[in-house]
């Protein structure tokens, strides 16, 4: 019955040599007084130049942790395992002093709450000068100012406000300043962690436009982390769906949204509200505990298509529709997509409702 744990090779997107940032089997566990929180539990992902990848999932699924883990910015008491390849180096396991030079000019991070991300005692100008001096100490100050003003102008911030203090700007403007601050160093990879969640819809649209222009103007790889599917549909080339610390589906954004392969993705899309919504749709149950996630497929307690095997064996990553002979890009982590020869006899029987309820309680 039990087989030794040999996982099939993760069906990662083709030509890893094209990927600017390559994540393999990343795990990031938070230490607590009891058992650790397995916020990221085996994630593989590639980011390519000039491409925008959306990372979606519910709150608490580990997406922010993933972003930070990629930059080595996790708090003390967190353990990271796996591989994050950037320019031939594995970033996992590098010391802080080795990572520091990379943060900024190579890997940029845009945070969620712009209101508190700027030092209230320091002018915008000094923020920029500081960032530039930390990495390009031989650049002349005037040149630094010129570049900063250019970056700000690109965000719609007039040069007259260069010497003002953070509290003199609104939330939306501060977020634009943060983006400019990240971009002035010309990073090759930009990770945007819920950049518009704290902002109103109109400002959000502006920011998204800016981010959309990013791939055209800067050729950076952008990872857009959000729980808002609408944003992803608008701006991203590819999308990865995250659930309970794992990526359950990943592929071309348009394809995933029109033909979701994973039941979770499908349920997420159905939960979105639009003008044609007549009744609220929701996924029953609650997001799983990351300390003690459900056995095998982590979504099985809430999945309407759950089968017996889903509660017994870890699903294997496959290209979606492979069983049906389709040739789709992307990958999905779900028994519905096979491989059939890994499913034990009887495993395809649906999981009974009571069993779902029991599984939920367990």
Partner 1 sequence: MSRKGSLRTYVLTRLVLAIPTVLILLTMVFLLMRVAPGNPIQVALGGHLSQQEIDRRSAEAGYDKPILTQYVEYLGDVFTGNLGTTLTDHRTVTSIIVENGSATLELTIAAMLVALVVGLTIGILAGRFRDTPIDLGGRLFGIVVYAAPVFFVGYLLQLLFGSTLGWLPTSGRVGPVTEYELDTTTHLYLIDSLISGNFNAFEDTVLHLILPAVTLGLLVSGVLIRLVRVNLMQTMRGDYVEAARARGVRERRVVLEHAFRNALIPVVTVAGLQFAILLGGAILTEQTFNWPGLGSELVRYLNERDYIAVQGIITVFALAVVLVSLMIDLINAFIDPRVRY
Partner 2 sequence: MAHMPKFAGIRRLGARIQEAKGAPRWILYVGIGIVVFFVILAIFAPLIAPYGFDQVTSDGVRFPKQAPPSSEHLFGTTVQSTDVLSRTIWGARTAIEVVVLSVIFSIAIGVPLGLFSGYVGGKLDRGLVLIMDALFAFPYLLLAIVVAFLLTDKLNDFFLSNLFGAGIVTAAVAITVVYIPQYFRVVRNHVISVREEPYVEAARALGAKRRTVIGRYIFYNVIQNVPALATLNAADAILTLAALGFLGYGIQPTEAAEWGYDISRAIDDVGAGIWWTGVFPGMAIVLLVTGFTLVGEGLNDVLNPLIRYRRIRKPKIPAEKVPAEQEASS
Beta-carbon contacts of 263 under 8 Å, excluding residues fewer than 6 positions away, are: 299, 303, 304, 305, 334, 336
Kind of pairing, strands 189-193 and 89-90? unpaired
Applying CB under 8 A, does 94 fall inside the site for partner 2? no
Q: Minimal distance in Å, beta carbon 275 to partner 1?
A: 37
- Which of partner 1, partner 2, none sits in contact with 76, Cβ below 5 to 8 A by type? partner 2
Q: What angle do CA 58, 204, 102 make, to 5 degrees?
A: 75
Size of the site for partner 2 (CB under 8 A): 32
Applying CB under 8 A, does 5 fall inside the site for partner 2? yes
Q: Minimal distance in Å, beta carbon 116 to partner 1?
A: 4
Residue 207, CB half-sphere, CA atoms under 13 Å: how many?
A: 29
Minimum CB distance to partner 1 smaller for 108 or for 288 = 108
Closest CA to 335 of 305, 358, 355, 359: 305
Closest CA to 234 of 52, 109, 66: 52
- Which of partner 1, partner 2, none sits in contact with 231, Cβ below 5 to 8 A by type? none
CA 337 to chain CA centroid, nearest Å: 23
Closest CA to 31 of 69, 67, 75: 75
Longest dimension (CA), the chain: 72
Whose tokens are 């359950």? That residue is 248
Minimum CB distance to partner 1 smaller for 198 or for 318 = 198
Paired tokens of 116: 């508190």
Instruction: Please check whether residue 107 is in contact with residue 187, taking contact to mean a CB–CB distance below 8 angstroms.
Output: yes
225-284 residues near partner 1, rule: CB under 8 A:
none
Instruction: Please check whether residue 179 is in contact with residue 155, taking contact to mean a CB–CB distance below 8 angstroms.
Output: yes
Binds partner 2 by CB under 8 A, chosen from 9, 15, 17, 76: 76
Q: Minimal distance in Å, beta carbon 201 to partner 1?
A: 23
- Which of partner 1, partner 2, none sits in contact with 111, Cβ below 5 to 8 A by type? partner 1
Binds partner 1 by CB under 8 A, chosen from 28, 43, 53, 71: 71
Mapped onto helix, strand or coil, the DSSP state of residue 225 is strand
- How far CA 289 is from CA of 123, 155, 311, 329, in Å, comes to 42, 40, 16, 31
Instruction: Please check whether residue 3 is in contact with residue 46, taking contact to mean a CB–CB distance below 8 angstroms.
Output: no
75-114 residues near partner 1, rule: CB under 8 A:
96, 100-105, 108-109, 111, 113
Applying CB under 8 A, does 135 fall inside the site for partner 1? yes
Q: Minimal distance in Å, beta carbon 62 to partner 2?
A: 14
Applying CB under 8 A, does 2 fall inside the site for partner 2? yes
Binds partner 2 by CB under 8 A, chosen from 73, 81, 129, 283: 81
Phi-psi region of 321 (alpha: psi -120 to 50; beta: other; left: phi over 0): left
Size of the chain, expressed as the number of residues it contains:
362
252-311 residues near partner 2, rule: CB under 8 A:
295-296, 308, 311
Applying CB under 8 A, does 344 fall inside the site for partner 1? no
Question: How many helices and strands (H and E) does the chain possess?
Answer: 10, 12
Binds partner 2 by CB under 8 A, chosen from 17, 33, 274, 327: 33
137-176 residues near partner 1, rule: CB under 8 A:
165, 167
Give the containing element (helix H, strand E) for 198. Answer: none
172-231 residues near partner 1, rule: CB under 8 A:
178, 181-182, 185
Applying CB under 8 A, does 3 fall inside the site for partner 2? yes
Whose tokens are 């900024």? That residue is 104
- Which of partner 1, partner 2, none sits in contact with 337, Cβ below 5 to 8 A by type? none
Applying CB under 8 A, does 39 fall inside the site for partner 1? no
Residues contributing to the site for partner 2 (CB under 8 A): 1-3, 5, 7, 27, 29-33, 36, 41-42, 76-81, 295-296, 308, 311-314, 351, 355, 358-359, 362
Residues contributing to the site for partner 1 (CB under 8 A): 71, 73, 96, 100-105, 108-109, 111, 113, 116-122, 130-131, 134-135, 165, 167, 178, 181-182, 185
């Amino acid at each position: 019955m039990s087989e030794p744990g040999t996982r099939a090779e993760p069906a990662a997107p083709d030509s890893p040599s094209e990927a600017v940032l390559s994540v393999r089997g990343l795990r990031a566990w938070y230490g607590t007084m009891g058992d650790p929180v397995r916020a990221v539990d085996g994630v593989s992902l590639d980011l390519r130049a000039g491409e925008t990848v959306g990372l979606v999932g519910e709150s608490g699924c580990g997406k922010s942790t993933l972003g930070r883990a990629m930059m080595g910015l996790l708090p003390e008491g967190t353990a990271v395992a796996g591989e994050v390849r950037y320019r031939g180096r594995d970033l996992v396991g590098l010391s802080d002093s080795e990572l520091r030079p990379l943060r900024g000019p190579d890997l940029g991070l845009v945070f969620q709450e712009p209101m508190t991300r700027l030092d209230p005692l320091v002018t915008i100008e000094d923020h920029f000068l500081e960032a530039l001096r930390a990495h390009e100490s031989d650049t002349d100050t005037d040149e630094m100012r010129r570049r900063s003003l250019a970056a700000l102008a690109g965000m719609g911030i007039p040069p007259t406000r260069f010497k003002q203090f953070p509290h003199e700007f609104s939330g939306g403007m501060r977020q634009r300043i943060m983006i400019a601050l990240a971009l002035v160093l010309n990073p090759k990879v930009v990770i945007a962690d819920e950049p518009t969640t704290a902002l109103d819809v109109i400002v959000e649209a502006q920011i998204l436009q800016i981010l959309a222009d990013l791939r055209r103007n800067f050729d950076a790889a952008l990872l857009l982390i959000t729980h808002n599917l609408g944003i992803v549909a608008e701006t991203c080339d590819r999308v990865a769906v995250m659930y309970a610390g794992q990526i359950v589906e990943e592929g071309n954004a348009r394809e995933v949204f029109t033909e979701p392969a994973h039941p979770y993705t499908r349920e997420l899309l159905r939960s979105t509200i639009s003008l044609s919504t007549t009744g609220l749709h929701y996924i029953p149950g609650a997001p799983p505990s990351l300390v003690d996630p459900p056995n095998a497929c982590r979504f099985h307690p809430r999945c309407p298509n759950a089968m017996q095997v889903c509660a017994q064996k870890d699903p294997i990553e496959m290209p979606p529709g492979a069983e049906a002979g389709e040739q789709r890009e992307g990958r999905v982590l779900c028994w519905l997509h096979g491989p059939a020869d890994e499913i034990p006899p009887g495993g395809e029987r649906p999981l009974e409702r009571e069993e779902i309820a029991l599984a939920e309680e367990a």
